[in-house]
């Protein structure tokens, strides 16, 4: 299980990117409940680490790439690695 500061950091990072839980879930091929569990600290360390790594990748994308990826995820697409 994850520490509270790790959990807060993930949801804050996602919000700063402008992504909803639904967008993240679609882009990662996860259920929204899984993303919620990860952000709430109820998921496994492996799920947390994978989600955190994806947030890091997304943070590194240029703004236009991020917008393109989020738009695609909003239409049910997956994030490109």
Domain extent listing, the chain? 4-74
pTM: 0.87
Q: Is the dihedral of CA 8, 23, 35, 65 positive or negative?
A: negative
Band of residue 5 on the pLDDT scale cut at 50, 70, 90: low
Q: Which two tokens stand for residue 56?
A: 């890091």
The arithmetic mean of pLDDT across residues 35-57, rounded, is: 95
* Statement: residue 77 has pLDDT above 80: yes
* Statement: residue 81 has pLDDT above 80: no
**Residue reference for tokens 């590194």:** 60
Cα 17 to the chain's mean position, in Å? 9
* Statement: residue 8 has pLDDT above 80: no
What pLDDT score was predicted for residue 2?
Answer: 52
The arithmetic mean of pLDDT across residues 2-15, rounded, is: 75
């Amino acid at each position: 299980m994850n520490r509270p500061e790790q959990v807060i950091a993930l949801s804050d990072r996602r919000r700063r990117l402008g992504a909803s839980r639904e967008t993240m879930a679609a882009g990662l091929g996860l259920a929204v409940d899984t993303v919620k569990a990860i952000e709430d600290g109820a998921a496994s360390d492996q799920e947390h680490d994978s989600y955190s790594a994806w947030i890091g990748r997304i943070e590194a994308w240029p703004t236009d790439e991020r917008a393109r990826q989020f738009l695609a995820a909003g239409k049910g697409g997956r994030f490109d690695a």
